[in-house]
Chain A
Amino acid sequence: MNPLVVEQVTVAYDRQLVLEDVSFSVPEGKLVGIIGPNGAGKSTLMKAMLNFIPRMHGNVFVYGKPYEKQRHLVGYVPQRNSVDWDFPTNALDVVLMGRYGHIGLWKRPRKEDVDIAMQCLDKVGMLPYAKRQISQLSGGQQQRVFLARALAQDASVYFMDEPFVGVDAATEKAIVQLLNELKMRGKTVLVVHHDLQTVRDYFDYVLLLNKRVIAFGETESVFTYDHIQKTYGGKVTFLSAAHIVG
């Protein structure tokens, strides 16, 4: 059973269709890059799948059941700038938030939740910063805290919105390592991504998106010059596209 099946998702803001008839199905244990120009609806797609914005039409199935019934299987890493980093809390606390789904409503975190949170921080190399106030972390470190939180959630399918934006080289490396580890453990990860150069190295599957699905499939066969041109509407020059496709 495929971990994620998206059927005919359509989203409209007032007069305009932002996403039209988006359908795809992801096999288990794959890293999927969602690629497209600005305004193509990449983040919107993620938000529509998670029900943050209403879908005008379409369904999202996680392991065969509607998303609403399978929330606990889905982990979400929002864009770093979507929260206020001045919030009075430290890195460990943020990671601990990932455990809230397991702790249950109205209950307090237990010792084992704290241990898991510490392990997750360790995995992204942030253990020394556990007690650091979050506004005093660098952009890359904040991103790693978010990833540790997603790890602590222990979900089966992950949605990550632009995790590579504005991070340092060390963090980028840490994220890639983490993605591969998740893949090894049979997790499925969707990543909104904008850096065409790295697509081939990072992802098994790509979804080329520009309001509708331009192409979806294994990176090898789908990430071609023609498809990129079609997605970006000719904005990518021949030379650079050829370079990317290699």
Chain B
Amino acid sequence: MSYTIWILFTAALVGINCGLVGTFLVLRKMSMLSDAISHSVLLGIVGAYMVSHQLQGVSMLIGALLVGLLTTFLVQLLHQKGVQSDAAIGVVFTCLFAIGVVLISLFADRVHLDVEHALMGEIAFVPWDVLEVGGKSIGSKAVWLLGFVLAINIFVIVFAYKELKISSFDSEMAVTLGIPVVFIHYVLMGMLSLTTVASFDSVGAILVVAMLIVPSATAYLWTDRLSVMLICSALIGVLSSVIGYMGATAFNVSISGAIAVATGVLFFISLWIAPKHGLLRKWLKKSPA
């Protein structure tokens, strides 16, 4: 496959993964946690490197998962003890991120990892970093990683659809029905951590946040069904990747930045023309015909 197609494929996979997980974040009003986890995951990657001495898929996933859950746990702990939740998120993730940066700088000479890379990503290098089995190249590492995480995400969403739905809509009711609401929260945060770390390498922390929240919020303007919203937001994610990539190559600027801008443009357009919740329709309705 050609260079361009690999990049588009990677970006599309990021779009689908983020769209699926992001939908639940937006509905549960936890967008801030995505910002937090996308940063603190850095510590997980560094930690995984210190333990396993490699920057390989599986150990990175485990490291990110652990730190993601740790972030969730600390935020909840502070919140329970009376700290406002956005302040709690702010304190926890900046601290974990800072520890991550310090560790990187201590081992910097040996790790191929820098903060700039982490924030902005290097999707342009994805096609050259290939996975080899028995001496034969079977495609980009990032794509395999993203595909693996996508499989997990789809599995969880299909399997626990009704639990995710009720605990997002009415968590008190869910508790009285005996649904393990806290467990589900952690599962979702685990999915978020995996998605973040898999996307991280290609698109960087900032774009992950854009890809998680913006397409889901855009989909929220288009539909009134949860299942449709999930699919819509994945599609919008893919669309933004394609538009963003084309824009970036045309103007020779950062691909991940351009994709983030593309999500914003799609959101802005939807804000006006979405059929049920778009502003144009609302205003047309208000003004006497």
Chain A contact residues, CB within 8 Å of chain B = 50-52, 71-72, 74-76, 78, 82-84, 87-90, 93-94, 97, 100-101, 103, 105-106, 108-109, 133, 149, 153
Contacts and interface: CB of A to CB of B under 8 A. Distances in A.
23 contacts: A50-B176, A52-B172, A71-B178, A75-B176, A76-B173, A78-B170, A82-B170, A87-B27, A87-B169, A88-B27, A88-B224, A88-B225, A88-B228, A88-B229, A90-B225, A94-B169, A97-B162, A97-B165, A97-B170, A100-B162, A101-B178, A105-B180, A106-B160
B165 A89 contact: yes
B246 interface: no
Interface of B: 27, 29, 159-163, 165-166, 168-170, 172-180, 220, 223-226, 228-229
Q: Which of A84, A90, A97, A106 has the most CB of B within 10 A?
A: A97
B166 A76 contact: no
A71 B166 CA distance: 17
Contacts of A101: 177-178
A106 B159 contact: yes
Contacts of B166: 97, 100
Nearest to A132: B224
Nearest 10 Cβ contacts at the A-B interface: A133-B224, A101-B177, A76-B176, A83-B170, A97-B166, A87-B169, A71-B178, A88-B226, A88-B224, A88-B229
A57 B225 CA distance: 43
A152 B166 CA distance: 15
A149 B175 CA distance: 15
A108 B172 CA distance: 21
A100 B176 contact: no
A82 B165 CA distance: 16
Contacts of A97: 162, 165-166, 169-170, 173, 177
Contacts of B168: 87
A101 B141 CA distance: 42
Interface centre among B27, B160, B170, B220 (most CB of A within 10 A): B170
